[in-house]
Amino acid sequence: MVTNNPDLDKKIRMLRDHGQAKKYFHQAIGWNARMDGLQGAVLSVKLKYLDLWNETRRSHAKIYSGMLSKVKGVATPRKRNSQSTFSTFMPFA
């Protein structure tokens, strides 16, 4: 994680250490997990395709939203000033 927000930094550091800011004083439910080498190797390859996959999902979401807009009572909400990856619109095969 990278941030220039000191409050967010403190929260992230706490959550990565089982929710403790001070040893044995847990302020939240956190975790401490490690990625193994195989997961890292797979993700390093997949990361090269992330922009393409996100753009593909956006393209499919645009088609789905257009088709769904013709169905009475169905809406596909969009947030202003954001760019969704529409991760729930389509699974990868």
Higher pLDDT: 49 or 66? It is 49
Considering the chain, what is the average pLDDT of its residues? 83
Q: Based on the fold, state whether residues 22 and 42 are members of the same structural domain.
A: no
Q: Based on the fold, state whether residues 55 and 40 are members of the same structural domain.
A: yes
pLDDT tens-digit map of 35-62: 889 999 999 999 999 999 999 988 888 8
Structural domain boundaries, residue 29: 1-33
Q: Based on the fold, state whether residues 3 and 26 are members of the same structural domain.
A: yes
Three-state helix/strand/coil letters over 6-74: HHHHHHHHHHCCCCEEECCEECCCCCCCCCCHHHHHHHHHHHHHHHHHHHHHHHHHHHHHHHHCCCCCC
pTM for this model (two decimals): 0.55
Amino acid at position 58, single letter: R
pLDDT band at 90 (very low <50, low <70, confident <90, very high): low
Counting the structural domains of the chain, the total is: 2
**Structure-block tokens of residue 13:** 């550091």
Report phi then psi at 56, rounded to 5. -65, -45
Q: Based on the fold, state whether residues 25 and 46 are members of the same structural domain.
A: no
Q: Based on the fold, state whether residues 50 and 27 are members of the same structural domain.
A: no
Higher pLDDT: 86 or 72? It is 72
Phi-psi label, residue 78: left if phi above 0, alpha if psi -120 to 50, beta otherwise = beta
